[in-house]
Amino acid sequence: MIPQKTVEELITKHSLLEKDLSSGNIDKKLFAEKSKEYSDLNEIVNDAKKYISFEKDKNELEKILEDQNSDEELLKMVETELKDLQIQYEKNEKKLKLFLLPKDEADKKNAIIEIRAGTGGLEASLFAGDLFKMYEKVSHKKKWTLELISISKSEAGGLKEVIASIKGTNIYSTLKYESGVHRVQRVPDTETQGRVHTSAATVAVLPEAEEVDLKINENDLRIDVFRAGGPGGQSVNTTDSAVRITHIPTGLTVSQQDEKSQHKNKAKGMKILRARLYELERSRIDQERSKDRKSKIGTGDRSERIRTYNFPQGRVTDHRINLTLHKLEEFLEGEAFDEIVESLSLKAQEESLSNL
């Protein structure tokens, strides 16, 4: 049960914000922030008022039931109304609990997604390429902007590694459950016996950190420049345009060589490094907060097998919530992607509610 005082404070806050915003005396810098807060409260305030009035409404209905002079038809109506009131109360309580859950500020951020081929040789690189195409299709459907940061292709036409930035609305909240090991079971094109092979790729989704989120001391960085290797044209291979940035305190290293310009490579490298450092700090704080409990969802453990894509049976299974969809092709096309994401979000909310 939620303390009545907590719910009353929400209602009072909504009322005060309404007065502030309609007064016309509010500071311009605070207007956007207060408008957002008011808008969020607006979605829950009616439920909060009904939650507060529940006991009073319930007592009034029970008095009618206790009245010996009430006729049978009225009693039946009141009993139905009392049941509906109880159901609505439970719904309102759940909505309020979800609203009162601590917000993850990173949910609103853009994201950096890193996909790497894992075990399985060339087949793993082909699967990494398939996963990247899937996220490209999801981004297109949601009108997000996907920008390549770096890409390394395999001999088979797949991807050894790809890093991209995805920009839009609430990107991280949608993609954060994608981090982990993705496993594929299928018959490779090179397999003459028709045997099913298993290979894997790892996905890491990081909230894109701004400079205001994380200050990096220049003295903590070692920056090395070197000649780029691999394809890219003569101008790439004959100048020291590639950049390796090492964050000395953590040992994190980022190499970037896709651009011909050393300056551009450094900027891209810093974007990746900032995201990794930000995520490292978030993970540290999360571990301290949750020493007594371990969530099965959204742990960010990249060694955890989270999903299997089985081509012979045309199914995709998310192991964290034991959900199987027999829609593999649609899923890879980005069509059924939201079905799993919404189920994961719901399960994560239920876990958070049980830990309140």
At residue 313, the 3 state secondary structure works out as coil
DSSP 88-99: HHHHHHHHHHHH
CB proximity list for 238: less than 8 A, separation 6 or greater: 227
**Placement of tokens 């395999």 in the chain:** 154
pTM value?
0.71
**Placement of tokens 């994608």 in the chain:** 178
Look up residue 60 and give its two tokens: 């009034």
Residue 271 — φ and ψ, nearest 5°? -65, -45
Alpha-carbon distances, residue 92 vs 42, 50, 59, 89, 236 (angstroms): 14, 8, 18, 5, 61
Burial 138-149 (b: 16+ CB within 10 A, else e): bbeebebebeeb
Q: Half-sphere exposure (CA, 13 Å, Cβ side) for 252?
A: 19
At residue 149, the 3 state secondary structure works out as strand
Check if CATH label 3.30.160.20 holds for domain 218-289: yes
Yes or no: say if 258 and 149 are a contact pair by the CB < 8 Å rule.
yes
The predicted pLDDT at position 236 comes to 46
The predicted pLDDT at position 37 comes to 87
CA dist 174 and 171 (Å) reads 5
The predicted pLDDT at position 202 comes to 95
Domain extents in the chain: 4-100, 106-210+294-354, 218-289
DSSP bridge pairs for 116: 161, 202
The predicted pLDDT at position 191 comes to 73
- Give pLDDT < 50 ranges for the chain: 231-236, 292-293, 299-300
DSSP bridge pairs for 146: 166
CB proximity list for 154: less than 8 A, separation 6 or greater: 117, 122, 125, 126, 160
The predicted pLDDT at position 301 comes to 52
The predicted pLDDT at position 291 comes to 53
In degrees, rounded to 5, the angle at the alpha carbon of residue 42 between the alpha carbons of residues 36 and 45 is 140
Alpha-carbon distances, residue 33 vs 36, 104, 106 (angstroms): 5, 17, 17
The predicted pLDDT at position 323 comes to 95
The predicted pLDDT at position 293 comes to 46
The predicted pLDDT at position 130 comes to 96
For 284, the enclosing helix (H) or strand (E) is helix 262-289
Using alpha carbons, select from 332, 350, 337 the residue that is nearest to residue 175: 337
| CATH fold for domain 106-210+294-354 | Alpha-Beta Plaits (3.30.70)
At residue 43, the 3 state secondary structure works out as coil
